[in-house]
Structure 1
Amino acid sequence: MIRAAVLGGLLAFAQTAQAADPSVSLRPVPRGGEAVVQPLKLEPTGTIAQPAQSTDQERARDRGGLFASLRPLFRSEKAESDGRAQKRLREKGAVCGDIDIQGEKVGRVTGNIKGCVVEDAVRIRSVSGVGLSQKSVMDCKTAGALKSWIEGSAKPALSKKGGGLKSIHVAAHYACRTRNNQKGAKLSEHGKGRAIDISAFRLRDGTEVSVLTGWRAQRFSDALKRMHKGACGPFGTVLGPNANRFHRDHFHFDTARYRSGTFCR
């Protein structure tokens, strides 16, 4: 009976405390009175309110510090500024919708032979950072093929020679003429803005590699033959020193397509 009376009294006390302040939650107090446990406030939902927290990263962000932006941690403002400026300069001279093809738009080009027309021609001065010895007129399809060849074959073939490829010597680009300038021959792809002839390559150390002398030279023969072979694909027609007497001293590339596929010789 005494035990039941004690339990009843404790229950009545708890109910009285909750009625006085329903947000107060009673917890057992450690024996000995070493510490006083403060009551926890309850949110309306019944969850325990957490104190505001701030991590080192959040405080740094609020101060505009290291975490203030998502930029690479070790990239300087000057590097970013220089990168943006370079991109603007490249875009300013971009043609064919490609920032790696630098030049200017020309528009429609015509000649004095029937069919000697280039629609939406461009005049190219550099491709993928490789300069052309003369500004060359062609259509965008041919410019795109030239870029593919330079990046996929020309640069890799000469990457370990004289510091790499700096520029190419253009022997011919747009010209309203017949094939090989022969009377009565068909219209050349040069007359359609679809061809480019390359006779030499200049390296960054100043060395010039000509097709005429380098094709059989021990130092550059492999590189030149690799470039010649690599053009078969990006271009429809590829002619070199082994093709005929008209191409002993240069590569002829054009974007003509044939039923049999590419023509490489």
Structure 2
Amino acid sequence: MKLGWRHVLIGVLAAAAMTSQAAPLEQSLVPLTRPASDQTALTAASQPAVRPMPRPIAPQVTAAAIRPSDVPLRPLMRPKWLEQEVLFKKRKLRKSSVCGDIAIQGKPVGRVGSKSSACGVKDAVQITSVSGVVLSRPSTMDCGTAIALNKWVDKTVKPTFKRRGPVIELQVAAHYACRTRNNRKGARISEHGKGRAIDISGFKMADGEVVTVLNGWRKNPSQKQLKKIWRGACGPFGTVLGPNSDRYHRDHFHLDTARYRSGPYCR
């Protein structure tokens, strides 16, 4: 029995269909889609891992690592001779201090009298230095004025001249003297005559430079510094007069501890 070409073609197609159904999935000609997790793993594997940078080693750790084993961690104790020297210096300063403050150096004078009953100081002291700054000459005053002077030098004068200085000396133009205000005839007795005033005309630095009120008040950088010092005196002292007050004070600062109900008088 002869089969026609149509019957042969149908047989071939049927056989091919049966073979395609029987073939396993992995042998299929169409590529399978990779799972998302496999793609992520492949990408992560192809890139280097990002790790945090190590923290830099502190200098203290390095120093401790190279420290000899026989060196203690605690600071060495101060040598005995140095302790004795410091104690001796403090003892000496305390012995020569007045007004109950080791920073105020001088000696007690006691009562200072005068021919005029309007002048005099009950418990006077003679000051040689305040807060480590020497006075150009020993100056007589009462303790209230000495304490105000020490505070002014410590809180205002020294910090103001810190970069330019340090300041080592106050140039004293006047201290205790039984006289009238500005030496005018018939005027009231000055606070100088009561031991409550001191006049400062200049400031000497460690390198020898002298900043004077007369020459520095009108030009910088001294002008700025001197005005700061003048303002700083207003408070510790009850009266502060400078070059802007009148012609009598063009070359110095007048500082006194007279007190007023209206507060400090600063000009």
* TM-score in terms of structure 1 length: 0.71
Q: CA deviation at 1:98?
A: 1.1
- Unaligned segments of structure 1, at least 5 residues: 1-65
Q: Secondary structure at the match of 1:184?
A: coil
Alignment-derived partner of residue 100 in structure 2 = 97
What whole-Å deviation, never above 9, does each CA across 1:133-168 have from its counterpart, x for those lacking one? 11000000000000000001100111111x310001
Alignment-derived partner of residue 206 in structure 1 = 208
Alignment-derived partner of residue 187 in structure 1 = 189
State the distance in 2 between where 1:193 and 1:254 align: 9
Q: CA deviation at 1:85?
A: 1.1
Match of 2:257 among 235, 255, 262: 255
**Is 1:88 aligned to 2:91, yes or no?**
yes
Alignment of structure 1 residues 1-265 onto 2, 5 Å: 73-161=76-164, 163-265=165-267
Q: Secondary structure at the match of 1:125?
A: strand
- Residues 82 and 240 from structure 1, CA distance in 2 versus in 1: closer, same or farther, beyond 3 angstroms? same
Given residue 174 of structure 2, which amino acid in structure 1 is its aligned partner? A
What whole-Å deviation, never above 9, does each CA across 1:95-123 have from its counterpart, x for those lacking one? 11111111111000112222202011000
Q: CA deviation at 1:73?
A: 4.3
- Residues 261 and 251 from structure 1, CA distance in 2 versus in 1: closer, same or farther, beyond 3 angstroms? same
State the distance in 2 between where 1:149 and 1:119 align: 24
State the distance in 2 between where 1:114 and 1:122 align: 20
Aligned length: 195
Structure (1 or 2) with the larger CA radius of gyration: 2
State the distance in 1 between where 2:209 and 2:198 align: 22
State the distance in 2 between where 1:170 and 1:141 align: 18
- Taking only aligned residues, the RMSD between alpha carbons, in angstroms, comes to 1.4
Q: Secondary structure at the match of 1:75?
A: coil
Given residue 204 of structure 1, which amino acid in structure 2 is its aligned partner? A
- Contact 1:189 1:256 (C-alpha < 8 Å) held by counterparts: yes
- Unaligned segments of structure 2, at least 5 residues: 1-71
State the distance in 1 between where 2:173 and 2:113 align: 20
What whole-Å deviation, never above 9, does each CA across 1:190-209 have from its counterpart, x for those lacking one? 00000000001100000011
Given residue 210 of structure 1, which amino acid in structure 2 is its aligned partner? T
* TM-score in terms of structure 2 length: 0.71
Alignment-derived partner of residue 68 in structure 2 = none
Q: Which has the higher helix share?
A: 2
State the distance in 2 between where 1:226 and 1:72 align: 41
State the distance in 2 between where 1:154 and 1:146 align: 10
Q: Secondary structure at the match of 1:145?
A: helix
